[in-house]
Chains A and B, each alone.
Chain A
Amino acid sequence: MEVIRKLSDAELVAAIRRGSGLDAAIKFIYGEHFEGLTRIVKNNSGNQQDAEDIFQEVLVNFIGLVQHDKFRGESSVKTFLFSMTKHTWLNELKKRGRTEVRELKYEKERDQQEMDVSHIIAENEAKKQVMNVVAHLDDTCKKILVMFYFENLSMKEILTSLKYENEQVVRNKKYKCLKQLEQMIASNPSLYQNLKNMLHG
């Protein structure tokens, strides 16, 4: 069994911002909150798959907020994740037109208070649209762009991983891929605006 050191909220947020501690931070959140948060969904008409999907969505949103310094730490991470899970699932139920929306029940934990995370939930749709557009790139493009812009790998490291002839070939490929993606986003004005609002709003 892999044992992960217990992290305080401050340590968790710092690990996410640092980037190098992201894997450990994600695993810690799984160990600490997966069971409790997925229970909210499963106790309110959701099945196991719904619960896992919502948990991942909440996790991606939370990490994004922390990385963009939008998580101000006014509540505990647990409270924040709880509220996000509840609202994300409510939103999903609304989309599905389910009657359970009105009677969503959940387990109130001792230190949990209600939080207004509706503005964060509103960004979810925009994010999903962005994911879909990126997913339409070919696999090599996705790999190069993710390695460079998300994993922060150097051209030399990417070259080793993808077996290209030299760094310049990788650089040219990356340029083409990013331009292709830019055009795909630009061709959808509402997506462009949503992305703009999401990042600068």
Chain B
Amino acid sequence: MDNSTQYELMRYIDDEMLPGEKAEFEKRLAVDAVLQNDLRSLQLTREAVKQYGLKEKVGGIHRQMMKELATGTPVKPISQARRIVRYVVAIAASVLLIFMLIEGYKFYALSPEKLYAQNYTAYELTTTRDGMDSLTAIEKAYRQKNYSEVIKLNAGSVVSIKEIFLTGMAYLETKDYSRAISSFQIVITDIKDHKTVIKDAAEYYLALAYLQNSDYDQAIELMNAIRNNSSHLYKAKFNGKYINRVKRLKWR
């Protein structure tokens, strides 16, 4: 086959012939077995080049991908759904982390002193019409906030339930919690089933004294009893949240 025919064949497979020229060539091709054979040979050669090109392309991308894998930046296909899930998980994890940090701080900052100060209200004696004349010495000393005098007077004489309660309050004010506990227990035991203002007050301050004395189980039990007693004067002082915080103190 001459060079000119071979050149024509190449222009034919490269689709470079003009329409008329192509039609004329195809007429020749239809009746020329040698030309058909040469065309097939050239087509196979072209396919070999395509195969080689593909192998080279895959090889090039392979090297790029392996480099990325080695440097820890692999190409991962990410679907839209997966991306949304990833964002949602990240946000949820952030919220959870913030929540845990807040709760952790609260737990760390929790102390019986803080809970005590949050709930404590000083007991005040009611004012009488005849002023200080009808008050006992202990009551007078308590009204004057002379707590050491209250304790001293209590030790030197027989006193009433109300005066024992005031002595318990004096111990509480002077941070002698174990003696405060004893005083309030005496008041509660003595009054027993009778409902009085003093008994309710004694129970309330006893619960706080337990808290300050780190007797958490007794404090929680008494606080729950006060909370569950609908007629208790100090019922509103101990809600569920407050009692739960006292419970957490046990884990510290």
Binding site for B on A (CB under 8 A): 1-7, 22-23, 26-28, 30-32, 34, 52, 55-56, 59-60, 63-64, 127, 130-131, 133-135, 142, 145-146, 148-151, 175, 178-179, 181-182, 185-186, 192, 195-196, 199
Contacts and interface: CB of A to CB of B under 8 A. Distances in A.
Contacts of B73: 1-2
Contacts of A148: 14
Given A60-B58, A185-B45, 13 more contacts: A4-B75, A6-B82, A63-B58, A130-B51, A131-B55, A134-B51, A135-B52, A150-B57, A175-B10, A179-B6, A181-B48, A185-B41, A196-B40
Nearest to A58: B58
B58 A56 contact: yes
A136 to B, nearest CB: 11
Interchain residue pairs A-B with the least CB separation, the first 4: A150-B53, A6-B79, A134-B52, A146-B53
B77 A28 contact: yes
Please report whether the interface of chain B is mostly helix, strand, loop or mixed according to DSSP. Answer: helix
Nearest to B76: A31
Contacts of A26: 57-58, 61
A12 to B, nearest CB: 10
A182 B52 CA distance: 14
Interface string B79-104: 11010000000000000000000000
Contacts of A28: 77
Contacts of B46: 149, 178
B225 interface: no
Interface string B44-70: 111111111111111101100110100
A146 B52 contact: yes
Interface size class of B (residues with CB under 8 A): 35 or more
A80 B68 CA distance: 26
22 contacts: A1-B73, A4-B76, A6-B77, A7-B77, A22-B57, A23-B57, A26-B57, A55-B62, A130-B48, A133-B48, A134-B52, A146-B49, A146-B56, A148-B14, A178-B10, A182-B41, A185-B41, A185-B44, A185-B48, A195-B44, A199-B43, A199-B44
A127 B51 contact: yes
B52 A31 contact: no
Nearest to B10: A175
B201 interface: no
Contacts of A23: 57, 61
A145 B13 CA distance: 13
B65 A34 contact: yes
A126 B40 CA distance: 17
Given A26-B61, A196-B44, A6 B52 contact: no
B105 interface: no
B251 interface: no
Contacts of B40: 196
Contacts of A149: 46, 49-50, 53
A1 B75 contact: yes
Nearest to A35: B74
A150 B59 CA distance: 14
B7 interface: yes
Most buried by B among A1, A23, A151: A1
A22 to B, nearest CB: 7
Contacts of B10: 175, 178
Contacts of B45: 178, 181-182, 185
A148 B15 CA distance: 12
A148 B14 CA distance: 9
